[in-house]
Structure 1
């Protein structure tokens, strides 16, 4: 069963006092001919959130329902048994490998035609006058490719085109981080304010098929 990322309390600050949770997904096997994302191990820890000090805009401050072409990772990253040197960013909280996502896909763990997805906050998101950026930290062979969402907001009722609007009061800051050599996947959440508990998001991994997934579920604000 694919679970959504569910927030249950009103007006919560996801990580109080600028603390955060780090979701780390690490492949259990270095060689796996028939890889599945269900073979990734999961760990959770608290730590500090540091925004990119040097970055390039993926989407400028007016983004909404945007998808990139292929973006260079800067090194070979092995996801689900395949090496990739590029990925595609969807402004709705996730990246894909092999192909760009379909326009309007707000459920990257449940559906999609790419070779794989990493979702940090997969749902209809919109800007709050801040860009989505990317960058590479460190030096070979220990570089980290980072995609960073700044001050994002959820959109209410994304499939009801005439009533969907940005959720006033939302402020979401998070990163997807890909590690060279270790092929570790890390999702970091910074200061996140959620003004409502009714709009869910998907968090986790999807493989080449929609039946191959590894996702997380939050059912309280005390993550």
Structure 2
């Protein structure tokens, strides 16, 4: 009898301010799963606490309003929705796109979630029309196979929609992808004022 693939658990690690954000991002992930071979119901969600720490690795070339960078090597094979990926792209708008295709639609800030959306498959850790006017975006693959981890952090970047650049409206957050288990972590640090959460969740 042939073996069957067990889908990964998806973990979102958030501070006490961001549980609503975690629920929204779960919806982002699960809606994007529907176009692949694994169903959304096969994935699980868990919340816990963890102190945010910025990634110290390679500084992304994605800057400004709707800035993007792709393709970037993951450093291992990551399976998502039953498909294997070895590269990804990122954007100042707070998401990763798996695969080597470029991120389009001016950085993908329009939050399109249809199965035919151009930027699928998308992992939206803090997805909005953000701006890297300040702060840093860095990525790093660490560990030894088969237990490597890719981390990407957005640290002190501008949030608030419409490519806002207010010095008081910044956020720090990151995503981890795990080799072998194919688990995903979303981790949130200081996330700016409360109104920006409402803006994202509308």
Q: Same fold (TM over 0.5)?
A: yes
Q: Once the 2 structures are TM-superposed, how far is the Cα of residue 168 of structure 1 from its aligned partner?
A: 4.3
Question: Cα gap change, 1:109/1:44 in structure 2, threshold over 3 Å: closer, same or farther?
Answer: farther
Q: Which whole-Å CA distance do the structure 1 matches of 2:59 and 2:151 have between them?
A: 12
Q: Once the 2 structures are TM-superposed, how far is the Cα of residue 181 of structure 1 from its aligned partner?
A: 0.7
Residue among 152, 157, 165 paired with 1:152? 157
CA contact (8 A) 2:15 2:50 kept: no
- TM-score normalised to the size of structure 2? 0.73
Q: Which whole-Å CA distance do the structure 1 matches of 2:196 and 2:153 have between them?
A: 23
Question: Cα gap change, 1:83/1:46 in structure 2, threshold over 3 Å: closer, same or farther?
Answer: same
Measured against aligned partners, the alpha-carbon deviations of 1:96-138 in whole angstroms (never above 9, x if no partner) come to 1232332332144525313410001100111242221111122
Q: Does 1:45 align with 2:78?
A: no
State the partner residue of 1:58.
60
Measured against aligned partners, the alpha-carbon deviations of 1:129-175 in whole angstroms (never above 9, x if no partner) come to 2221111122221111011101012244x2xxxxx632441120011
Relative contact order: is structure 1 or structure 2 higher (C-alpha 8 Å, sep ≥ 6)? 1
State the partner residue of 1:201.
200
Higher share in strand: 1
State the partner residue of 2:113.
110
Q: How many residues align?
A: 175
Measured against aligned partners, the alpha-carbon deviations of 1:68-94 in whole angstroms (never above 9, x if no partner) come to 121000000001101100011121000
State the partner residue of 2:103.
101
Higher share in helix: 2
> SS of 1:201's equivalent?
helix
Unmatched 5+ residue regions in structure 2?
Answer: 1-13, 31-35
Residue among 35, 39, 43 paired with 2:38? 35
State the partner residue of 1:91.
92
State the partner residue of 1:67.
68
Q: Quote the RMSD (CA, aligned, Å).
A: 3.2
State the partner residue of 1:209.
none
Question: Cα gap change, 1:81/1:46 in structure 2, threshold over 3 Å: closer, same or farther?
Answer: same
